[in-house]
Structure 1
């Protein structure tokens, strides 16, 4: 999760290396103890008990940082602006607004502003990915039928 000071900054080389090593060790620990529902972690002399789900999220976050990616955590119930949603989908804001107005994505209005629930955005993105993969499979099957060598 970012604070106001580091929002949007990519991890530096030192942070990337540390994240890689930590993600690797955490992955090994989770694999060795698949039945463990929680883990005790020590931070500056203070013992913390974390649920397994938090450890999995931490591992995934570290893995992204190890690849040099910035990471932002968004609660599934969060409402996003049209600009934020467009950024996540990697489309222009006007294109996203068009999708909203065509009923492709549900949204609510807060005054004159549109808001999109994060979980609705992810469902749309997954469906779009599924349709894309289906179209690619169909094209590959057609190419095979036509003997195009794909």
Structure 2
């Protein structure tokens, strides 16, 4: 088995063990707006707004928008990194004001 394939299988197994869904797509795969929305776990309408706002690249194929799997994956990774940073900052702020302190608190 090629090393690259073994890495993919290992990472997929880790994610599945965490209960997270896994999708494997070729980089050049063109996705419908619904398929891309499903991957991002957003509504199709919201995804179309992202495309129309220029936040997510897409190509018109006839009257339909198509998105590259690599662009959707990159958008997801960036979005997830921003979310993680925001949650880390919120956690830090909560810790700074003893938001996680247990015990009797005046009401």
Say yes or no: TM over 0.5.
yes
For 2:18 and 2:97, the matched residues in 1 are separated by 40
For 1:92 and 1:98, the matched residues in 2 are separated by 10
Say if 2:77 is the partner of 1:126.
yes
Please, which of 69, 87, 90 is the counterpart of residue 139 of structure 1? 90
Residues 58-97 of structure 1: pairs in structure 2 closer than 5 A: 58-61=9-12, 72-97=23-48
For 1:86 and 1:130, the matched residues in 2 are separated by 18
For 1:56 and 1:137, the matched residues in 2 are separated by 28
Higher strand share: 1
| 1:113 shift after superposition | 0.6
In structure 2, stretches of 5+ residues that fail to align are 102-107
RMSD: 2.5
Pair member with larger Rg? 1
Task: Give the TM-score normalised by the residue count of structure 2.
Answer: 0.78
After superposition, the Cα gap between the structure-2 partners of 1:139 and 1:114, relative to the gap in structure 1 and judged at 3 Å, is same
* Counterpart for residue 68 of structure 2: 117
Task: Give the TM-score normalised by the residue count of structure 1.
Answer: 0.57
Query: Which structure has the higher relative contact order (CA within 8 Å, separation 6+)?
Result: 2
For residues 92-134 of structure 1, the C-alpha deviation after alignment (integer angstroms, 9 at most, x for no partner) is 1111101111111011111111011111111110111111111
- SS of the equivalent of 1:87 reads helix
Greater shift after overlay, 137-146 or 101-110?
137-146
* Counterpart for residue 100 of structure 1: 51
